[in-house]
Structure 1
Amino acid sequence: MKDEDVRHLSQLEGEELLKKQHEILLSKYKIMRSNMYRIHKAPIRFALKRIYLNLIKRG
C-alpha cells in the first residue's frame, strides 16, 4: 500500500474507513483470484475465498 493511501485512510472515519478497507481487500482478492485462474488450481482458489470471507467477518 502506498503512503498516500495510508494518509487518506487516517483521515477517514467509521463507516467510510470500513468501506475503504473493504475496497482494498476486494481488489487484493480479485488480483489473487485472477492469478489462481491462470494457474488452474481450484483448491487454492477455494482456500483464498475462505480466507477472504474470514477477513470480511472480522471487519
Structure 2
Amino acid sequence: MVEILIFVVAAISGLFITGYAIHMLVGGLVSTDTEFQLIALVCFVVACGIAYMAWDVIKRRRIQRP
C-alpha cells in the first residue's frame, strides 16, 4: 500500500516538473495553444513511461513472492 502512495507522489511531481520545464523551454517562443498542446503531449508520454515502470515493479514483486 505504501508503494502506491510513493508511485502517486512521484508521478505527480514528475509530471509537474515536466510541464513546468516545457513551459520554460517554449513559453513565449510559440503560441499559447501550441504550448499547451506540447505540454499535454510530453506529459502524456512521461505518464505512460511512469505507468510502465510502476507496472513492471508490481509485476516483478508478484513473481518474487513465494
Q: TM-score, normalised on structure 1? A: 0.52
Query: Which residue of the partner structure matches residue 29 of structure 1?
Result: 19
Residue range with higher mean Cα deviation, 24-33 or 40-49: 40-49
Query: Which residue of the partner structure matches residue 33 of structure 2?
Result: 43
Query: Which residue of the partner structure matches residue 20 of structure 1?
Result: 10
Contact 1:36 1:44 in 2 (8 A): no
Contact 2:23 2:35 in 1 (8 A): yes
Unpaired runs of at least 5, structure 2? 46-66
Match of 2:22, as an amino acid? M
Unpaired runs of at least 5, structure 1? 1-11
Q: How many residues get paired?
A: 46
- List 4+ stretches of structure 1 deviating above 6 A: 52-55
Q: TM-score, normalised on structure 2? A: 0.48
Work out which structure has the larger RCO, using CA pairs closer than 8 Å and 6 or more positions apart in sequence.
2
Q: Percent identity?
A: 9
Q: 1:52 to 1:15 in 2, by over 3 A?
A: farther
